[in-house]
Amino acid sequence: MNAKRSAVIFAWMLLLPAVLYISAIVIYPLFDTVNLSFTNASLRKTYKYVGWLNYDKIFNETFAAVIIRTFVWTFFSVLIKMIVGTFGALMLNTAVPGRALFRILTMPPWIVPMAIGIFMWGWMYNGQFGMISGMLQKWGLVDGPVAFLAYGSTAFWATIVTDVWIGVPMVTLYMLAAIQAIPQDLYEAAWTDGAGRMYRFRRITLPLLVPSLITMSMISLISTFNSFDIIWILTQGGPSGSTTTMIIDTYKTAIGSYKYGEGAARAVLICIFLSIFCFFYFRVTNRLSTETAR
């Protein structure tokens, strides 16, 4: 009994530094955000409480548009990431020569400093001299140069494509691990019974991948919702707000215009959305793990 108690004390001593660190750098700021969202905090040293004023201010049409835009942007980015990433994983899982090299070649976007990959996309989207516009003209698909980042609709999709590019390696490697975790004897049994490749894919691979697909979509959803660097470097939320997602909007309000109070109210809303996603994530993964246990 005494030994057990001393073990618990020892465990907490081991945990204490990490717990204190996270409390100071994540938990305390979280509460501070909520607190600040009810104030008129700005660059000045003092601030006073203004009640729900900051929240009243943000519930207007412009902000509703920002929320909708954020969800549309996130939805398409996650969807395309999952499709491209899973396609890559299925291709890399095949038993063809060179696949070890192909796997290494998948990693650079994930591992290289994000900003630098985004610079390269910035050049490719250049209208006058960029690669994409140049190639499209060469193949006769467009008549003149297309400055992708200069128009609202193209900038919206351009930022999505870059976000997909950065997110795909993680999806691919995760899904590849999930595919390889499928017991091989299932395929052998099916093969013995004369099942073809497509049939085995539809009846074994795909159903067994569903839990991993859901889990990865949720992880991807949370990180995509938080995406900041890509949009900030490529468009800073422009042109005329067409790529301003909630994160970008919060950054502009708080850091660009020094309206900490209003920025904090926006951050609180983001946190609420993220908590909802997180809640579903834990529920779904819990249910999936109990189902597979049975």
Partner 1 sequence: MSNQTAMINRYKWYETLAIYAGIALFLIFILCPFVEGFLVSLKPLSRLFSSPYRFWPENGSFDAYVTMWDSVPGFARYVFNSLFISTVATAIVLVLVVPAAYAFARFEFMGRGPLLAAFLAVNMFSGAVLLIPLFRLMRSLGVLNTYASMIIPGVAFLIPTAIWLLRTYMVRIPKELEEAAYVDGAGRFYTFRRVILPLAMPGITVVAITTFIGAYAQQFIFALTFNSKTEYMPLPIGLFSYFGRQEVIWNELMAASFVGIAPAMIVIFFLQRYLVSGLTAGAVK
Selection from 254, 289, 285 nearest residue 33 by Cα = 254
Of the pair 1, 25, the CB lying nearest partner 1 is at 25
* Contacts of residue 47, Cβ cutoff 8 Å, sequence gap at least 6: 36, 39, 40, 41, 260, 261
Of the pair 61, 113, the CB lying nearest partner 1 is at 113
Q: Based on the number of CB atoms within 10 Å of its own CB, is 229 exposed (0-12), middle (13-18) or buried (19 or more)?
A: middle
Determine the straight-line distance between the first and last CA of the chain, rounded to whole angstroms: 35
Residue 288 beta carbon to partner 1: minimum distance, rounded to whole angstroms:
10
Q: Based on the number of CB atoms within 10 Å of its own CB, is 61 exposed (0-12), middle (13-18) or buried (19 or more)?
A: exposed
Of the pair 60, 94, the CB lying nearest partner 1 is at 94
Of the pair 75, 280, the CB lying nearest partner 1 is at 280
Residue 18 beta carbon to partner 1: minimum distance, rounded to whole angstroms:
4
Report the alpha-carbon angle 14-20-26, nearest 5: 130
> Are 37 and 55 spatial neighbours (Cβ–Cβ below 8 Å)?
yes
Of the pair 60, 184, the CB lying nearest partner 1 is at 184
Residue 65 beta carbon to partner 1: minimum distance, rounded to whole angstroms:
20
Of the pair 61, 292, the CB lying nearest partner 1 is at 292
Q: Backbone dihedral region of 39: left (phi > 0), alpha (psi from -120 to 50 degrees) or beta?
A: beta
Q: Is 182 helix (H, G, I), strand (E, B) or coil?
A: coil
Residue 88 beta carbon to partner 1: minimum distance, rounded to whole angstroms:
5
Residue 58 beta carbon to partner 1: minimum distance, rounded to whole angstroms:
15
CA distance 259 to 253: 6
Residue 64 beta carbon to partner 1: minimum distance, rounded to whole angstroms:
20
CA distance 228 to 232: 6
Of the pair 156, 249, the CB lying nearest partner 1 is at 249
Residue 242 beta carbon to partner 1: minimum distance, rounded to whole angstroms:
19
Q: Which two tokens mark 187?
A: 């395929």
